[in-house]
Amino acid sequence: MNILQRLGSGLKKTREKLGSSLAQLFGKERSPQFYEELEDLLVLSDVGPEQASLLIRDLKNWERDSENDNGKDPVLFLEERIASFFPLDPPVWVEQPDWKPVVILMVGVNGVGKTTTTGKLAHRFREEGKSVILGAADTFRAAAVQQLRLWGEKLDIPVVHQKEGADPAAVAFDTVKAALARKIDVAIIDTAGRLQTKHNLMAELGKIYGLVKREMEDRPFETLIVLDATLGQNTISQLENFRKAIPVTGMILTKLDGTSKGGIVVSLARKFHLPVRYVGLGEGKDDLVEFDPVLYARALLRPEESLRSS
């Protein structure tokens, strides 16, 4: 299954329960509740009530402006509209392919899948023929270091680590230093999960970022926030507060393999103009794929068709 089919098959279940899919909604004679039903559909995808009503407003404006143009499809309009929120600026490693090392700092709240995603991301770079080093800077959660080391063994990648409870900033610093000294292509640093309301932990993150930045001598690097597709509107607060602590350069959306649609990224992309770098679609090490805004928007709005067409 490719990304569309996977997304589609998950999304379809919710849709069936809802009983009125978009295709039906637009196909039939428009009922007086048409916009309301459409709004509900978006809310159920975790797009959020505010964003849902903004999108409805966009649609109404567009319909008014294109009154004489019968050839256009309103679903297509919404798809394009949603896809347009996601900026397409490439990551550091694409923009500056000669820079070494590429440093990626993985951040996020507890339980979103940072360590697993770190492993999968390392595997992706390895498949591209790049050398990778991992930094186990989650020194808080019991056995998190062990978890990353097992990933290292599985992928045959070195892991910089200290014992549990060690200073995470020191581990991050050592990882960058090791990557520089050993001329390694990519260094990925896993950090501890922290709820965005814990000020001391957010300050700690600022310190980790600061040390990495200093060691990188102000060359740009990626700070990717890992977001869980099964979580709802709280994700907005996560990104807002992480952005207060450190500059976030992109998002990774995990657990899109279930029935959850992670519609919240639509709001996040529109609000913060941040790209989604990858989406996690399953448990296997190959299940981290690049994000495609157009495919995502299509899978969000018409899962049945994305299943058929691919």
Partner 1 sequence: MFESLTERFDRVLRKITGRGLLGDSQVDETLREIRVALLEADVNLDVVRSFIDRLRDRLKGAEVKEGLTPAQTVLKEVFDEVVHLLGDQKASLQLSSKPPTIIMLMGLQGSGKTTTAAKLAYHFRQSGRRVLLVASDLARLAAVEQLKILGEQIHVPVVVPDDGVSNPRDMFPKVRKKWIEGMHEVVILDTAGRLSIDPDLMKELVDLRNLYKPKESLLVLDAMTGQESVNVAKAFDADIGVDGVIFSKLDGDARGGAILSIRSVMGKPIKFVGVGEKVDRLEPFHPDRMASRIIGMGDIQTLLEKAQSAVSAEKARQIVTKASANQISLEDFLEQIRSMKKMGSADELLSMIPGASTLKSQVDFEKVESEMKRTEAIILSMTRLERLHPEKLDGSRRRRIATGSGTTVQSVNQVLKQFEQVRKMMKTALKPNGMRALKSLLPF
The span of 69-77, 105-113, 269-277, 294-302 binding partner 1 (CB under 8 A) equals 105-113
How far apart are alpha carbons 13 and 188 in whole angstroms? 36
CA distances from 127 to 122, 130, 179, 226, 229 (A): 9, 7, 18, 22, 26
CA distances from 6 to 70, 147, 296 (A): 33, 27, 11
- 108 vs 293, which CB is nearer to partner 1? 108
Task: By CB under 8 A, name the one of 234, 247, 286, 308 that touches partner 1.
Answer: 234
Site residues for partner 1, window 184-213 (CB under 8 A)?
195-200
Looking at this protein, which amino acid is placed at residue 141?
R
For residue 61, give the H/E element and its range.
helix 49-65
Least Å from the CB of residue 49 to partner 1:
4
Size of the site for partner 1 (CB under 8 A): 51
Least Å from the CB of residue 132 to partner 1:
17
Kindly write out the interface string for residues 15-54 of this chain, putting x where it contacts partner 1 by CB under 8 A and - elsewhere: --x----------------------x--xxxx-xxx----
Phi, psi at residue 88, to the nearest 5°? -110, 10
255 lies in the binding site for partner 1 (CB under 8 A):
yes
**In which order are the strands placed within the sheet that holds 288-290?**
159-160, 132-137, 186-191, 102-107, 222-228, 250-254, 276-280, 288-290
Residue with tokens 């639509």: 266
8 lies in the binding site for partner 1 (CB under 8 A):
no
Least Å from the CB of residue 216 to partner 1:
29
13 lies in the binding site for partner 1 (CB under 8 A):
yes
Residue 247 structure tokens: 């500059």
Contact partners, residue 169, CB within 8 Å, separation at least 6: 137, 204, 207, 208, 210, 211
- 11 vs 289, which CB is nearer to partner 1? 11
The span of 22-30, 86-94, 103-111, 205-213 binding partner 1 (CB under 8 A) equals 103-111
Query: 101: cis peptide before it, omega within 30°?
Result: yes
Task: By CB under 8 A, name the one of 2, 96, 237, 309 that touches partner 1.
Answer: 237
Task: By CB under 8 A, name the one of 107, 187, 253, 264 that touches partner 1.
Answer: 264
The span of 60-68, 76-84, 109-117, 210-218 binding partner 1 (CB under 8 A) equals 109-117
Residue 295 structure tokens: 């495919």
How far apart are alpha carbons 283 and 117 in whole angstroms? 10
Site residues (CB under 8 A) for partner 1? 10, 13-14, 17, 40, 43-46, 48-50, 109-113, 116, 119, 141-144, 146-147, 150-151, 154, 164, 195-200, 228, 230-235, 237, 255, 257-261, 264, 283
